[in-house]
Structure 1
């Protein structure tokens, strides 16, 4: 019996497998500062969004928890009066097999958040709408650029420590 080229390729490289086992809101905070303090004049918002990522290896083999930490601040364009503030920690538990060890870190910080983002975006949209503002629909995030930025920051910090 001869081996087909397809079977040889399957045996040579393990197949990558990713499964989302769970996803959930770890922490959510919404402050409607406009309703609490009031704002005068034009309340056209200027929105800033910050996203951070955290990864934890779980005790079970091949399982990782990826946490997307999103902070949204909205202020008036004129005067900079705060309108609202949202903090969301949205997490997913992933079962990942077949990813080479040297590629696991970028995979966890790029592909996993990409899978979680639509759900986190919906939570933020719902909470701003329920908080008496128009729904805030976040634009897509370039997780590759975010990963590169994080790696560059880590390298700069390591260089500063080496120089000190």
Structure 2
């Protein structure tokens, strides 16, 4: 299948997100999708096959993470592995395709492998992916926590937008 240009669709989604933020103050992914589909019906229908393929790929990713649990988890019963450890093992792991560097990594450059068939190198690659995800999540968590703490220090209440509270703090500092 020929490659499809999603640039116009991405811009349409961004436009609808901006609109939802301005009108409602929040956005829901499904509502954004519904509005974009209604406003750009012709373009979306032309891209339909690729969009369906992407949706099926997303469904396949979810199932790949779960499927081995149904079919192969029992095969992991190995003497010497405590049951408590077994209970927390994933049925499948994601492994980057060899030759793809971390910055170029995408959903299509990762394979899923049942844990019962994973080699030590596969486990190492999966652990590297998890470490990168954990590091990114930790940075986001820390940054959001700091932003929240700044807003609380500025006197924000639970219903006030964070940036409004921080803006008033900034104005107070400028007056000092």
Greater relative CO (CA pairs within 8 A, separation 6+): 1
> Of the two, which has the highest radius of gyration?
2
More strand by share: 1
Fold shared by both chains (TM-score > 0.5): no
TM-score after normalising by structure 2: 0.22
Q: Which has the higher helix share?
A: 2
